[in-house]
Amino acid sequence: MDIGLKVWNEVKDNLSSAKVYLKEFLFFNAIFILFSFLIIDNRIIVFTLIILLFLLSLVFLNMVGYKRKGELNEVKSVVAGIRKNTFNRPEEIKLSKNLQALQEEIKQMFEKEINDIEYLKKLERVRTEFLANVSHELRTPIFAIQGYIETLLDGAIDDKNVNKNFLDKANQHTINLSNLLSDLIDISMIESGEMRMSYRYFDINEYISQIIQEMTTMAKEKNIELVYHPAKAGLQLFGDKSKLKQVFTNLITNAIKYTEHGKVEVLVEEEQKYAKIIIRDTGIGISQEDIARIFERFYRVDKARSRAVGGTGLGLAIVKHIVEAHNSKIEVKSEPGVGSEFSFRLKK
């Protein structure tokens, strides 16, 4: 009795799972019945056949339902597994042979989900790190300014030996602070995709000469020669002049800042479809390990030195973004103690 009930429940379950095929089932039965009536005269045989067909169909539906239920359960358990994070790797997802295609799809979906989550986690880490860096970088000049002002207020203001010096130092830190803020604004504009580029052709010789002129004082103060080797007269290059100004200013400033003696050269070398722009110095150089990292935000080979010369550690990150927006790539060659060369290409 108990077993009978169990079997009946099972059959009911199977049949309900096969319900989706009911239309096809009725359709074929109807055709068969129609043909039987047309072809066979004997009513008894026809009815027997119909009953037989009906029973066979039930058995068939039961089998199909059973299989369908099994497959659905398999898929359900895999999906539930993904939902409950029971899988660590896509290889752990397994379905029976006839569901291979589905298995591959689910695996790929799972893999994509893992990657998306990884990516989001990484973004979150980068954001937290950036915030920590920003706070730290802001704190340094603010604390320094605070320190100098307090010392001055405590009496140093009347000490002719130090008062001007302290004010100069506090002033230098306010300059650093303001540099940092403007670099931060640039970075956030660039990274939020708000940097609007406006490309046009311009005379590269005129353009660079102007920038060189503006930066000569800075070079002279360090006794460094700043030289421009122009391209052929009238050469027109394609780019966003105002954004490129930031690139040139940053690269030339770095070249001057990180050079103790010698010269800084800017060269434009014409190629077939592009012109290669090179900023070369005879400075302290950068080691191979550091070259891989100097474009990261806030990365500086020597923090104290960079800060002393008014650096923020954001300059090259900004340069990289702008050069890449010009569909170009910034390249670095450098040898510690000998000098560095930064270059990129602009379209002719």
Ligand X SMILES: Nc1ncnc2c1ncn2[C@@H]1O[C@H](COP(=O)(O)OP(=O)(O)O)[C@@H](O)[C@H]1O
**Residue 346 three-state SS:** strand
Nearer to ligand X, 117 or 338 (CB): 338
Q: Quick one: 153 or 304, whose CB is closer to ligand X?
A: 304
Q: How far is the CB of 110 from ligand X (least distance, A)?
A: 40
- Give 205 or 254: the residue with its C-beta nearer to Mg ion: 254
The site partner of 256 among ligand X, Mg ion, none (C-beta below 5 to 8 Å per kind) is none
For position 315 contacting Mg ion by CB under 5 A, the verdict is yes
SS (H, E, C) 4-42: HHHHHHHHHHHHHHHHHHHHHHHHHHHHHHHHHHHHCCC
* Residue 298 touches which of ligand X, Mg ion, none (Cβ within 5-8 Å per kind): none
DSSP string, 247-270: HHHHHHHHHHHT-SSSEEEEEEEE
Q: Which residue number has the CB closest to ligand X? A: 311
Q: Which does 281 bind (CB under 5 to 8 A by kind): ligand X, Mg ion, none?
A: ligand X
Residue 258 binding partner per list ligand X, Mg ion, none, with a CB distance cut-off of 5 to 8 Å that depends on partner kind: ligand X
- The residue behind tokens 């479809």 is 273
Q: Which is nearer to ligand X, 18 or 251 (CB)?
A: 251
CB of 213 to ligand X, least distance (A): 20
The count of other CB atoms within 10 Å of the CB of residue 3 is 7
Which lies closer to Mg ion via its Cβ, residue 239 or residue 311?
311
Whichever of 62 and 259 has its CB closer to ligand X, that residue is 259
> Which H or E run includes 201?
strand 200-203
Q: Nearest-CA neighbor of 140 among 86, 101, 179?
A: 179
Please report which residue ranges of the chain form alpha helices under DSSP H.
2-17, 22-39, 43-83, 100-153, 163-191, 204-221, 241-257, 288-291, 303-308, 315-325
Q: Round to whole Å and give the CA distance between 323 and 252.
A: 15
At its nearest, how many Å lie between ligand X and the CB of residue 263? Answer: 13
Stretch that binds Mg ion, among 10-18, 73-81, 248-256, 295-303 (CB under 5 A): 248-256
The CA R_g of the chain, rounded to the nearest whole Å, is: 38
Provide, rounded to whole angstroms, the least separation between the CB of residue 122 and Mg ion.
26
Neighbour-count burial for 296-309, b at 16+ CB within 10 Å, e otherwise: ebbbbbeeeebbee
Q: Which two tokens stand for residue 280?
A: 């070369």
- Binding residues vs ligand X (CB under 6 A): 250, 254-255, 258, 281, 283-286, 294, 299-302, 306, 311-316, 340
User: Which residue is closest to Mg ion by CB?
Assistant: 315
Q: Which of 254, 282, 328, 343 binds Mg ion (CB under 5 A)?
A: 254
What residues line the site for Mg ion (CB under 5 A)?
Answer: 254, 311, 315
